[in-house]
Amino acid sequence: MGVSIKASVIREHMANHGTEEKKIVFITAEDFFGLKSVSRFIEGFLKYAPEDFSIDIIGLTSDKIKRPVNKWISFSLYNKQFRFLPVYYKANEEVDNAIELLIFSLKVYFHCRYNCRVILFFQRLGPALLSCLQPGHKLIVIHSEMARVLSQIKNKVRFLGFFPLFYLMCERITFRRMNCIYIVHNASVDYYKNRHPSQARKFLFLPTFYDKSIFYPFFEEKIAIRKRLPDIFHAVSPEKKWILFVGQLIPQKDPFLLIETFQKIIHRGVDAVMLIVGVGKLRMKTECYAKKLGVGNLTVFLGFFPHQMMPLVYNAADVLLLTSRIEGCPFVVLEALGCGIPVVATNVGEIKRFVHNGFSGEVVDSFDPSVIADAVVAVLEKPETYSRGNCTLSVIEYSPDKIFHPVYKICRELT
């Protein structure tokens, strides 16, 4: 189905199609066919993109058999045709360290040359930096609250104090070459405008979205919904309160604080279980920590679930709990609210934009597990206050077609 990547092949493709179609190429340091949030962002863009947009995706592969490196793959999605080119292999679906990111960026730069009519749409700074000298228009999305990320790196690891300065230098070079820079954290827009005043007009807020045709409330009893779940859930008591976590088990998500919070909830006499959907490099340590705190028998590690299964999982839960230290604009918050499930979360990123205290959940201005546990207990004790209707109303305006409309407009103007 695919062909080996050659610059001449790409140029020929562009010669045949460039004058008729708006050509957009997403560059992502993830496997598009995986389960990471950037892939969901791109998928939302694809679903509602105008018919005259021709879209390629360049990323990595976590499956060498189905998606071999350096082979174009044609695929159909939402009755549209797209192409995907993996240029790097990574089993866990994501480039997650500086060396791998550099290798991936170099492969993107040397193997993927497009002409000046193309829009390159980057999802990470590294590939965008190395591609600055390539022709074409360029857009980038900053998916995290980078000011907080850099501050934590500098404070926690003293000998890496130089890294924020290096990052900011790379950022300055890259941003000069971008046509637009989208930020998923609204407060960071002003942060970037102040840091780069000559580029201020380029910085635009782009919130996260959810697809209401997929994520919506099931108007059934919780017990009935839970009986429809896969066998892995059958060992979980359907009579208990289900506290759900969805995400990677990585330092930014602070799964240890999650477990500490759950322990406090149990100590308050709540008959509950903790369901963890996701994997990550801290999974084993998180399991051990749950056992150490005496809640290992009440904590269920479910691994990854297919995206199409998640509406059922959300609807089966009583509350979504996030104890993140850093976020941008997490999809899981909008998806849970879209399913009518209240959210309790730490006050990071854009969470407060969607979760309204006393209405659709609680946003906690503390990393104290006792304070977070109090918020969870309050939500569980008063389901009528945090109703399905309140939750869905909190995110009703954040559909992908509305969110991407101004982005499609800019893409059309650039080409």
Please indicate whether the domains covering 7-209+399-414 and 222-394 agree at the CATH topology level: yes
With a cut of 60, say whether residue 140 has pLDDT above it. yes
pLDDT in tens, 305-357: 888 899 999 999 999 999 999 998 899 999 999 999 999 999 999 999 999 99
CA dist., res. 64 & res. 231, Å (int): 29
Domains of the chain: which residue ranges? 7-209+399-414, 222-394
In terms of CATH architecture, what is 7-209+399-414?
A: 3-Layer(aba) Sandwich (3.40)
The most confident of 76-80, 93-97, 147-151, 364-368, by mean pLDDT:
364-368
Write down the pLDDT at residue 152: 58
Percentage of the chain modeled with pLDDT above 70: 89
Q: What is the pLDDT of residues 237-294, one digit of tens each?
A: 999 999 999 999 999 999 999 999 999 999 999 999 999 999 888 999 999 999 999 9
Look at 133-137, 234-238, 403-407 and tell me which has the smallest mean pLDDT: 133-137
pLDDT band at 145 (very low <50, low <70, confident <90, very high): confident
For 222-394, which CATH superfamily applies? Glycogen Phosphorylase B; (3.40.50.2000)
pLDDT band at residue 144, thresholds of 50, 70 and 90?
Answer: confident
Q: Confidence band (pLDDT; 50, 70, 90) for 25?
A: very high
Average pLDDT over residues 123-137: 85
Kindly report the number of other CB atoms within 10 A of residue 355's CB atom: 27
pLDDT at 85 over 80: yes
d(CA 182, CA 188): 10
Distance in angstroms (rounded) separating the CA atoms of residues 323 and 367: 8
What b-and-e string marks burial along 60-82, b requiring 16 or more CB atoms within 10 Å of the CB?
A: bbbeeeebeebbbbeeeeeeeeb
Query: What pTM does this model have?
Result: 0.88
pLDDT of residue 109: 85
Q: Are 130 and 170 in contact (CB under 8 A)?
A: no
**Inter-residue contact 208 to 184 (CB < 8 Å):** yes
